[in-house]
Amino acid sequence: MYLAENSTEEVRAPEIRIVPALSRDLDSIALVLKASFPGEASYYKIKSWYCEAKRIIRCDKGWVCLVARKEREVVGVIAARCLKTEVPTVRIEWVAVLPSERGMGIGSKLIEELIGIADLSFKEPQVRITLRARGERQDFYRKLGFRCYGRGWMKMRLKH
**Domain 15-159 indexed as CATH 3.40.630.30:** yes
Is the CB of residue 30 less than 8 Å from the CB of residue 65? no
pLDDT at 8: 58
Instruction: Read off the pLDDT of residues 48-89 as tens digits, 9 standing for 90 and up.
Output: 999 999 999 986 678 899 999 999 999 999 999 998 888 889
| pLDDT surpassing 70 at residue 133 | yes
Instruction: Assign 31 to helix, strand or coil.
Output: helix
CB atoms within 10 A of CB 122: 17
The model carries a pTM of 0.85
pLDDT at 149: 80
- Cβ neighbours for 114, distance < 8 A, ≥ 6 positions apart: 64, 66, 78, 80, 90, 92, 129
Written as one string, the DSSP assignment of 35-59 is HHS-S-GGGGT-S-HHHHHHHHH--
Q: Does residue 112 or residue 2 have the better pLDDT?
A: 112
Is the CB of residue 37 less than 8 Å from the CB of residue 79? no
pLDDT at 1: 46
Tell me the longest C-alpha to C-alpha distance in the chain: 60
Is the CB of residue 54 less than 8 Å from the CB of residue 79? no
Instruction: Read off the pLDDT of residues 5-49 as tens digits, 9 standing for 90 and up.
Output: 555 566 566 799 999 999 999 999 999 999 999 888 888 899 999
| pLDDT surpassing 70 at residue 160 | no
